A and B are shown apart, each in its own frame.
Chain A
Amino acid sequence: MLLVLLMIVAWRVDPAFVSWEAQSLLASHLWETAIMAVPMTLVILIGGIDLSVGAILAVSAVALGLAFQHGLPPYAAAILSVIIGAFLGLANGWLITGLRAQPLIITLATLAAYRGIAEGISLAKPNSGFPATFLAFGSSSFAAIAFVVLAGTAAFILAKTPTGRAIYVMGHNETVARFSRLPVDRIKLILYGSSGAAAGLAGAIMVARRNTAKADLGAGIELDVITAVVLGGVSINGGKGGIFGLVLGLFLVHETREFVSWRWQKDEVVLIVIGLLLILSVLLQRSKTEDG
């Protein structure tokens, strides 16, 4: 956490980079990542992981496109996509709790399955031509509000409610949580469900922003989401971290992106730097805890 702060300060100090327009305008792509990263933080806190968010995003987006094509009003279609996302997320949760299986494997499976469904129902054809009223969803301000509301709620739950306490306990030791009669399975269901719902919401936003709905939307975005969460100091093994860290992590990813592309004018370098950042931050965290 300290490390993350330090790095941000370092960027702040770099005088050439303080162009406030660039600072205030967060890339829209980041907002979608940010929205999905909030429930992902909670999922990783309980020691789980959700690899299927990108695929859920695609299913929701494709369904939204089809629903719109069949005459559903755009707002109803957007709500539908959130519901579909929640449903697919619940399916993840149900499989994980029902089979007592590792979330990595289950969501790896549903990553493939959901992406296949998106391809199957859309026949890989894009849908576009949404009305202007719907495209308003794609504005940064809507996404920003959604993120702030989600992050605020999550932070509140973690700090102030029994559910938040239960989430940390589950991350440290799930058996202990079960023996303490905490509603372990219900919390899992809800968290995977909300992860799906957030992916559905991000799907609607992405469709509105790009004015097109197709099956390959959000491919690989799950890795961006997880990267932001881990960069925010959330332990991949669960139990440690919080929403404040996540915000810093997102900020860090964004700053890095902006800074690197401003400096080198190349997106490829951004990928390399973010990958390095991810490995280095965990590496430094490790060496710090081992010293102490």
Chain B
Amino acid sequence: MHDPTLIAIQQITKFYGGVTALGAVSFEIAKGEVHALCGENGAGKSTLNKILSGSLLPDSGEITVENRPLPMGSVQACQDRGISIVHQESTAFLHLNAIDNIFVGRELTAPGWGFFRKLSLPFARNEQGGGVGWGFFLDRRQMERKTRELMLRLGESLPIDVPLLNLTTAQRQMVSIARALARDCRLLIMDEPTSSLSAKESAALFRIVRQLRSEGVSILWVTHRLDEVFELADRVTVLRDGKYVGTRSIGELDRAELIRMMVGREMATITARESNPAEIALTVKGLSGPAFQDVNLTVRAGEIVALAGLVGAGRSELARAIAGIDSYDAGTIEAEGRAISYVPEDRQHQGLALPMSIRENLTLSVLPRIAPRHLLIRARENQVAQQYMQELDIRADSTARPVESLSGGNQQKVLLGKWLATDPQILILDEPTRGIDVGAKAEIHRHIRALADRGVAILLISSEMPEVLDLADRIIVLREGQVAGELSRSEATQEKLLALSLPDESAEQKAVQSKEPIVDRLARQREIGVGALVALTLIVVSLVNPRFLSIENLRDLLINAAPIAIAACGMTLVILAREIDISIGSLMGLSAAIMGIIASPTRMGGSVPLSIALALATGLSIGLLNGALVAVGRVPSIIVTLGMLTILRGGTDLLMRGQWITDIPPGLRVLGTGSVLGVPISLWTAAICLICTGWLLARTALGRRIVALGSNPQAAVYAGISPTRIRLFVFACSGLLTAIATLVSVTRLSTIESGIGVGFELLVVTCVVVGGTSIRGGQGSVLGSFFGTLLLGSVATMLIFLRLGEMSTYWERAIQGAFILAAVMMDNLARRRAKS
């Protein structure tokens, strides 16, 4: 009846410490089927996913793809054999566009340039040293053509040259699917794919899944939504407590049976609650904010009012405004002194401090109560924690246990307890059962009902229609920030809810169009902006003092900027990869000392090429050392380079023995003072460095991977990029470029003293940040850093030329600082504008 087996999972077992996460699980996935994988949280679904996609090594067992064993624990190998995963949390690179997202880690490259390819291979190669035969330079036209083909195949028309930042969640998911297809995917694992999609977007996804199935792709659909299983799947496999329960065809199964398989017992049928609403507890009148307009609603004490609608309809924003967490523009909220509590939707990121204990989390919202006169009283704390632990039946051996060690359902109970402790009269629950299993869900529902029976006014936000229909006395539907309608319990049906939730086609079209790439434009404007600012500075100063624009002066300006620009190239790479290198100032001192000591006739009297070579080698090896400590030792880069800063400075002082080197041989000084074709050597060097780094970033696979790593380190690993190698590479570059900067700057002076390069790191970071590179990684360019360098350089010169007098030079650093602040403010402004 089914097509032949594609993948056979045999006796897969995985232990976490003493706990069996998966115990000898075996089942098969046929070719071209949609195979649902169900189970409560903690049943082992995600562990199995990780093993299948190669990011986790099982303790025993085997997986075969078409009867050939699959190498375990390698993302790359799994992808090579056609297994790809689309994650629950989007693993997209938000700063990259769709094309790059699809191909990063598997770039298409133009043939040729064998030398560069060999050079870059140790860094760019995949973790397994994968045998991908790619060249050095990206074949962008080919990648774009392939992307268009894929989008056509998926029937999607999303803009492919815009950073994913500007796309909707559903569109990002499409890009992830396209990425899997680009890798000749034969099994697509989709982990809770509809958890953040609206009903309409889910329908579109279902269509694509069916189409892929007809093309012969198998899909493993991991979900806790039973509706989806029945609508989409051919077969379903159920796991419970890490054990295989069974695989059934959908035809031979009904809903109750599936739940029984998942829970291991019959679920008690829920009896409708006798609602007994009293006086009005909450009145919202004409409330308007960024995401909602003119909302009117009331909630009575003892009533459960559901706020339904699609994701993005403004429900959470409205709830946060009502709870007083976000501000709003107009309208009134009347609660007549009743306490309002908002239980956020995302327990990991908004609700709980995961590494802290149950006790600390449960008491977090009621600190004043357990700490009268600002002193924590342990007895009261324990009392509160014990009370809610019992009341909500949180299963843990002690209140001291960290919340992260609990199951999802128990975490959700802690979350609920944390806000119940505030003893609210009005409780806003935002997706209170998202991502938890059927059993825990029923328990939470029971608690919600009990609260309403006790007279608490409850506003419930939920994307799950059965939950809304089941719990609510009244349903208010929000559509695009406005109240679209209100339904009583008796008149509400799934169809009516959906009809009210869905926006008009025309309105939706408009919404998509207004999402034009604002952020993208601003990011590009940033480079233009800094460039324009440089030009403006030059013009203004030259109007005041025409001598400023003289060739000599501009030449001086560039020569001064050259070493900074060279080091800034390296720093740009480092910051793009979401690291930082503050050891470059000390490194400059050390390489200068080594170069000087070797070349100086009175010290070692070595040859000039030898001194240059050793200075460069110093830079490179220190850079590699930094990189190794960060990449392999997993020490934060700020710590590594801070330590290195101290070490290198000490080393330099030791070498210099407190003396200055004044006899640099002329052969070496030529580097700083000489020129080729009338242009100083330092400028040639800077130009070459800038062009090479710029090219590396814009045109090569390696460059794309650096940006990808900085944009989303976790996704980078899934894309088969080796973070270790990339980090080694950027720090090595930073070290080497710093040494080059040393060569052209120190040789301009006639002396080398041990204080060379003090504070250089801050100057370079300043230039890079002012040039628009985001300290959060993933965004920025070499061109921007160059403009940043010029801007700071021209400001320094400007101060002299504006004849502000002798004192002006002392303010130079203050102005540098002001520039960073201005850059941060610009970023902030851009982000805000992008949001609205």
Identify the A interface with B (CB < 8 A): 49, 95, 99-102, 104-106, 108-117, 119-120, 123-124, 160-166, 168-169, 172-173, 175-182, 219-220, 223, 226-227, 230, 236-237, 239, 266-272, 274-279, 282-283, 286, 290
Distance of A177 Cα from B360 Cα, bound (Å): 12
Complex interface: chain A residues within 8 A of B654 (CB): 266, 268-269, 272
B623-643: which residues lie under 8 A (CB-CB) from chain A?
Answer: 629, 633-636, 638-640, 642-643
Known pairs A176-B350, A179-B351, A181-B365; A110 contacts B817 (CB<8 A) = yes
On whether the beta carbons of B775 and A105 are closer than 8 Å, the reply is: yes
User: Contact mask B765-804 → A, CB, 8 Å, 1/0?
Assistant: 1100100000110000000000000000000000000000
In the complex the two chains form, what is the Cα distance from A267 to B765 in whole Å?
Answer: 28
Whole-angstrom distance between the alpha carbons of A282 and B636 in the complex? 9
Q: B450 on the interface (CB 8 Å rule)?
A: no
Q: Are B351 and A176 in contact (CB under 8 A)?
A: yes
Min CB gap B416→A, angstroms: 14
What CA separation (Å) do A4 and B817 show in the bound complex? Answer: 37
Known contacts: A123-B807, A270-B650. The answer to whether A279 contacts B644 by CB under 8 A is: yes
B334-361 interface code vs A (CB 8 A; 1 in, 0 out) = 0000000010100001111111100010
* B374 contacts chain A at the CB level, 8 A cutoff: yes
Segment of B2-10, B199-207, B723-731, B821-829 in the binding face:
B821-829
Query: Could you tell me if A104 and B824 are in contact, using CB atoms closer than 8 angstroms?
Result: no
* Minimum Cβ distance to chain A for residue B371 (Å): 5
B812 interface hit (Cβ, 8 Å) = yes
Q: Does B31 contact A (CB under 8 A)?
A: no
Chain B residues whose C-beta falls within 8 Å of the C-beta of A274 in the assembled complex: 646
| Cβ-closest 4 pairs across A and B | A113-B817, A116-B814, A271-B650, A116-B813
Kindly identify which residue among B352, B640, B646, B775 contacts A102, using a CB–CB cutoff of 8 Å: B775
Name 22 A/B residue pairs within 8 A (Cβ), A-sorted: A99-B825, A108-B766, A113-B821, A120-B814, A124-B810, A161-B374, A162-B371, A164-B376, A176-B349, A179-B344, A180-B364, A181-B325, A223-B645, A227-B643, A236-B639, A271-B649, A274-B646, A275-B647, A275-B650, A279-B639, A282-B639, A283-B635
Contact, CB under 8 Å: B814 / A269: no
Nearest Cβ distance between residue A63 and chain B, in whole angstroms? 15
Asked if B828 contacts A279 (CB within 8 A), the reply is: no
Is B485 located at the chain interface by the 8 A CB criterion?
A: no
Which B residues touch A175, using CB under 8 A? Answer: 349-350
A112 touches B635 (CB 8 A): no
CB pair B638–A119 under 8 Å, yes or no, is no
Q: Is the CB of B364 within 8 A of A169?
A: yes
Which of A102, A106, A160, A176 has most chain B Cβ within 10 Å?
A176
Task: Check B41 for interface membership: any CB of A closer than 8 A.
Answer: no
Give A225 Cβ to nearest chain B Cβ, in Å: 11
**Residue from B353, B643, B819 in contact with A176 in the complex, judged by beta carbons closer than 8 Å:** B353
Residues of chain B within 8 A of A99, CB atoms compared: 824-825, 828
Q: Is the pair A179, B350 in contact by a Cβ cutoff of 8 Å?
A: yes
A270→B654 CA distance, assembly (Å): 11
Contact B325 A178 (CB under 8 A): yes
A236: B residues at CB distance < 8 A = 636, 638-639
Which of B633, B642, B646, B827 is in CB contact (< 8 Å) with A272? B646
Min Cβ gap A118→B in Å is 9
**Given A115-B813, A223-B642, are A166 and B367 also a contact pair (CB < 8 Å)?**
yes
- Return chain B residues, CB-CB under 8 Å to A111: 762, 817
Query: Smallest Cβ distance from B132 to chain A, in angstroms?
Result: 30
CB within 8 Å for A160 and B376 given contacts A179-B342, A236-B636? yes
Cβ A108 vs Cβ B820 within 8 A: yes
Chain B nearest CB, measured from A274 CB (Å): 6
Pick the residue among A95, A113, A168, A278 that contacts B814 (CB under 8 A): A113
The answer, among A113, A160, A278, for a CB contact under 8 Å with B646, is A278
Instruction: Determine the distance from Cα of A110 to Cα of B762 in the docked complex, in whole angstroms.
Output: 11
Given A109-B817, A271-B646: A160 in contact with B375 (beta carbons within 8 A): yes
Chain A residues within an 8 Å CB radius of B640? 279
Q: Is B818 an interface residue (CB 8 A)?
A: yes
In the assembled complex, which residues on chain A have CB atoms less than 8 Å from the CB atom of B765?
A: 108
Tell me how far the C-beta of A289 lies from the nearest C-beta in chain B, rounded to whole angstroms: 10
B-side contacts of A95, CB under 8 Å = 821, 824
Whether B816 is near chain A, meaning CB under 8 Å from some CB there, is: yes
The answer on a CB contact under 8 Å between B807 and A226 is: no
Given contacts A116-B814, A163-B374, contact A268 B365 (CB under 8 A): no
Q: State how many angstroms separate the Cβ of A65 from the closest Cβ of chain B.
A: 15
